[in-house]
Structure 1
Amino acid sequence: MDPASPPEQLSIVHEQVLNSSGRSVTAAVCLHRFLCYGSETSTYTTKECSLGIENALSLMQFIEGGRGCEVVEEVRHLNLEGHTVRSNPSLFALAVCSQHADCKTRQAAFRTLKELCRTPAQLFTFVQYKKELKEGSGMWGRALRRAVTDWYNSQDGMSLAQAVTKCKHRAGWSHQDLLRLSHMKPASDTVALVCKYITKGWKGVQEAYGDKEKSEDLQKVFAYLEAVEKSKHCTDELELIHLIENYRLEKEQILTNHLKFKEVWKALLKEMPVVALMKHLGKLTADKFLARGSPYVAAVCERIQEETALKKAKTHPFNILVASENYKRGHGRRGKLKWEPERDIVEALDCAFGRSLSTVEPTGKRFLVAVDVSSSLSSVAHGSSISTVAIAAAMCMVLTRTEPDTQVVIFSDGAVAPCAKSSDLTLMQVATQFIKTPGGSTDCALPITWASENDKTVDVFIIFTNNQVCGRENPAETLKTYRQKRGVFSKLIVCGMIASGLSIADPEDRGMLDICGFDSRAVDVIRNFVLDVI
């Protein structure tokens, strides 16, 4: 097999299309890139751009070619498999399909809406895209009204009550807007009760249901909404805690003013997912909830490190690193919130990072990770608010612990040097190998040349750099030469961690990817790329 032609694993294949940059590439790859991260190009950037027809040409080609139903199925498949790192491109694609002239395409898009819109925020976003595509006129036809109605009626009353009280409006729309414009007709008594709450408020619910004999399910939803309303006006701390614990109310349903009470936080933390807990550690410390000697510190540390909770959360170690680095910094990115990091919590986060490494599923590929040390790695990465050296070290640890065939090297000024790798090394020890005296120029082709000269067979090259200069050799051409020599379709990922733009990847080559900045989504983009999803 030609090493320059990887096996095609997409359900939509072989078509060619001019993408937004005018380069000829595989249409299926363009479509998957767009659905995954919102751009048809071979560049992922941490900055989310607005979506429009002009940057979704592959999507339009398939739809105009009479293959809209296949596009909808591709949208559905990628979302259900967890390959989309941003939800908006899929919602945009569904909005485009839902108003196409082909009846089957429209029907398929609306049928899929319930599966894709898991939250009210996603439903609101879809409706807003419909508005923008229709330019505000004639969008509320029978099909959209039915689809919105089905979204509300597809949920049981309790789930709907929880959803509408946690997210009331987004993207310029509210539940009240959607119920009015869709001519919503509830399919069950419990959904009808929630709809009454949306349109008439709690007072309307009391008038309609207060003295009415209610079934068990209806009483359950009624009591839940009553608890939400009571929590808004509650002045007694003990009563509020009782409501939170009995009805499992969440932070989004509690007034900000109530979050100053330690016992309220204690009640919220019982049901709070571990990832959300990590995001609130700074505020909890600033508010003295997590003060030295407090019994809450030990309980929180135990939850953070619990392997079962980490596996259930399915959070990547990189997300824990971000939470850890943000906490260690002692202040928020915005505002005046400051805190003195608690030592036990810092240690618990470091432990959680190490334990979470075992939750990453291996790809079975052969990796060469190269870290550019020709310039200082002390800069803050775009999109992450943490240092580039921490990102490079963390990703090296993830790959060496989960992928058995991984080599790590540093390179600078014409030289490449292998790094030590061991399961005993800490993040700080790995990072120390990258903290060299900077000097010389960046040449991203060096690691590929080194692999070739040292008889290394590599499936995926990942290069971390703070520079945007390629050097004397073109990495894309060097990779192509390496492929021919080794007889394998090797891939190249260049992570410009402080770059606002990169142009190293050949846009006509499916096996090359540029990443500008670095965030939690970039981790998933890399995995999708390695596994031939994009």
Structure 2
Amino acid sequence: MARDPLAAVSTIATPQTQPIPGRTDQVKNAAGGYVFGKDLWRRLEDFLILGTTGGTYYVGEDKLTAENAGVLFEAIAEDGPRVVRLLTEISTARPPRAPKQRPALFALAACYAKGDADTRQAAKTVLAKVARTTDHLAQFFGYYKNLGGKPTSRGTAPTVGRSLRTALGSWFLAGSADDVAFKACKAMQRKTPQGEAFALRDVLRIAHPAADDAQRRTLFGWIAGNVSDDEARDELPAVDRFLTAKAVTSVDDAVRVVTEARVPWEFLPDAMLRAPEVWEALVDTVGMTALIRNLARMTRIGTLKPMADATTRAVARLTDRDAILKARIHPMDAWLAMRVYASGQAQPNPRADRQTWHPVPAVLDALEETYELAFGTVEPSGKRLLVAVDSSGSMSWGGGVHVGASPIGSPYEVGCAMAVMLARIEKGNVHVIDVDTNVHASKVTPRTNLREIASWQPSGGGTDLSLPFAWAARRRMNVDGVVVFTDNETWAGRAHPTQALDVYRRTVNPQVRVVVAAMTAAGYSIAAPRDEGVLNVAGMDASLPLIVNGFVRS
């Protein structure tokens, strides 16, 4: 009897290289499999969190950037004020949801350049919240020039209307006059993303904000060069400390003002911040977060080195349990710091030279202990979790995952590290597997040393992300939640992940919750878009364990 081709059509088990019959919301991913296209707003959220630096295994940086810029412009055309609300939420979240601020600043600039009047009005009200520093303001201004400027004989000039002037002026009016003075003193000048000079004095002249009290009038006059230093320091404590720091002419003077006057490190002349002795004094005075962020700098200039006294004191602070808990350092923050420091390289600006350093073993050990101690305030959900780490070939992608300007590892390594954290937090209620076209035992345990993950390699081969659900269903493994770390480039299964999840729900646990954690901003997901039991998250969000905890608990 001839084979009936219609017998191969199934909505229960469909090869992933074909769309599910009757579904019109599936798209082909970069590996050739069919997945669910994320809606416009989910794709925009992924871009705002993940950015496009480094591209993905399948898609280069330039193409990924162009695709996500197109998503942004489409979203602005559909509902610009909603774009502003979303970028503000992501930009101001605590703990941070996005490792870099640039995508949010680019999106805000695009809202001004491409949005309607309501969009510009919404953007105007949040500029000071999103562009919190001079550096942020410079980035926003540079992006706006590219998107909403006009050509001149010298290049591009910004088109500045009343709305933008008001927005720029709001930066100088947010917070007390001394708060603004502190920000201004930290950085009067920066570079735009195009490498052009950017000065607060010029912005003040463009914006013409109206001072609301005598202190602010003094501040504006001082920035513009119309008020003397002596008058400004009498009115504004931040300016007084700044001018004290700027008067420093020697390393000894810098050490003195740090130790005696407790001058913030940001106020010191750049030349002083290149001196190892100055940072040796700052080791004891900077906040815990600033200490962690400057470990690479201190190592690069020679403050932190093997057997040095400064190293001993830095290690003591990094392993101070009470200080870690008081600063609310999250295990994820500590791990990211450890990976950035261990990478030995960074390039904060594409135009800048690459920075390199040789990590000090004692500091790496201390950061590992910071990680351990940071679990002190994290409470488990009490739920049973199956964690599946995509171990296919694309997860070994050499471009890797970046935080700030440093590579922290391949998507597979990052996924395994997150699995370790969940295993630690949930205290034994977690089982971890690796998945390619088969299910493999994972090396992850609650006691896995995070450094050893760097030497692990994924099993490679194809990707079948229906397997976590099919595997759990066959074993009648009753879990409350399934967490999948992946790049969503699945293609090899005989059934789609959503079909396998349906089977698991029908046969084992109809209430199971699923979290799909994307390592890249690829624009699609294995999860059906209207499935309320599935949560899509993206990127190196330090709050991911808490998100998983809350979603599964609900």
Q: Give TM class, smaller chain.
A: 0.7 to 0.9
Give yes or no for contact 1:399–1:406 (8 Å, CA) kept in 2: yes
Matched, 1:461 2:482: yes
In structure 1, distance between residues paired with 2:102 and 2:457 = 38
Shift of the 502–453 alpha-carbon distance from structure 1 to 2, 3 Å rule, reads farther
Q: What are the equivalent positions in structure 2 for 1:437-448 lying under 5 Å apart?
A: 438=459, 442-448=463-469
Matched, 1:355 2:373: yes
Q: CA RMSD in A?
A: 4.8
Give yes or no for contact 2:144–2:158 (8 Å, CA) kept in 1: no
In structure 1, distance between residues paired with 2:118 and 2:506 = 45
Which position in structure 1 is the counterpart of 2:419?
396
In structure 2, distance between residues paired with 1:77 and 1:502 = 20
Which position in structure 2 is the counterpart of 1:298?
312
Give yes or no for contact 2:300–2:358 (8 Å, CA) kept in 1: yes
Give yes or no for contact 1:98–1:105 (8 Å, CA) kept in 2: yes
Which position in structure 1 is the counterpart of 2:432?
408
In structure 2, distance between residues paired with 1:329 and 1:73 = 35
In structure 1, distance between residues paired with 2:369 and 2:530 = 40
In structure 2, distance between residues paired with 1:393 and 1:323 = 16
Matched, 1:111 2:131: no
Give yes or no for contact 1:448–1:482 (8 Å, CA) kept in 2: yes
Give yes or no for contact 2:306–2:360 (8 Å, CA) kept in 1: no
Counterpart of 1:397, as a letter, is: V
Which position in structure 2 is the counterpart of 1:195?
220
TM-score (norm 1): 0.72
**Sequence identity (%):** 23
Give yes or no for contact 1:46–1:382 (8 Å, CA) kept in 2: no
Q: What are the equivalent positions in structure 2 for 1:337-352 lying under 5 Å apart?
A: 337-339=356-358, 341-342=360-361, 344-352=362-370
Give yes or no for contact 1:380–1:386 (8 Å, CA) kept in 2: no
Q: Cα offset for 1:153?
A: 2.6
Shift of the 392–271 alpha-carbon distance from structure 1 to 2, 3 Å rule, reads same
* 2:387 corresponds to which of 349, 364, 369: 369
Q: Cα offset for 1:367?
A: 2.8
Which position in structure 2 is the counterpart of 1:5?
none
Q: Deviations over 1:125-169 (max 9, x none)?
A: 444454444334884333332332232133333322321232322
SS of residue matched to 1:49: helix
Shift of the 245–421 alpha-carbon distance from structure 1 to 2, 3 Å rule, reads same
Aligned residues: 489
Shift of the 393–309 alpha-carbon distance from structure 1 to 2, 3 Å rule, reads farther
* 1:158 corresponds to which of 175, 178, 185: 178
Give yes or no for contact 2:36–2:527 (8 Å, CA) kept in 1: no
Counterpart of 1:272, as a letter, is: V
Q: Cα offset for 1:315?
A: 4.1
In structure 1, distance between residues paired with 2:224 and 2:483 = 53
Shift of the 149–472 alpha-carbon distance from structure 1 to 2, 3 Å rule, reads closer
Give yes or no for contact 2:416–2:444 (8 Å, CA) kept in 1: no
Counterpart of 1:161, as a letter, is: A
Q: Cα offset for 1:101?
A: 8.5
Q: What are the equivalent positions in structure 2 for 1:163-182 lying under 5 Å apart?
A: 163-167=183-187, 168-171=189-192, 172=196, 173-182=198-207
Give yes or no for contact 2:422–2:545 (8 Å, CA) kept in 1: no
* Unmatched tracts of structure 2, length 5 or more: 1-24, 30-34, 151-156, 348-352
Give yes or no for contact 2:108–2:123 (8 Å, CA) kept in 1: yes
Give yes or no for contact 1:121–1:170 (8 Å, CA) kept in 2: yes
* 1:479 corresponds to which of 484, 501, 515: 501
Shift of the 393–525 alpha-carbon distance from structure 1 to 2, 3 Å rule, reads closer
Give yes or no for contact 1:375–1:467 (8 Å, CA) kept in 2: no
Q: Deviations over 1:487-507 (max 9, x none)?
A: 2364352656xx896966357
SS of residue matched to 1:408: strand
Counterpart of 2:284, as a letter, is: K
SS of residue matched to 1:409: strand
Counterpart of 2:224, as a letter, is: T
Matched, 1:230 2:247: yes
Shift of the 54–105 alpha-carbon distance from structure 1 to 2, 3 Å rule, reads closer
TM-score (norm 2): 0.70
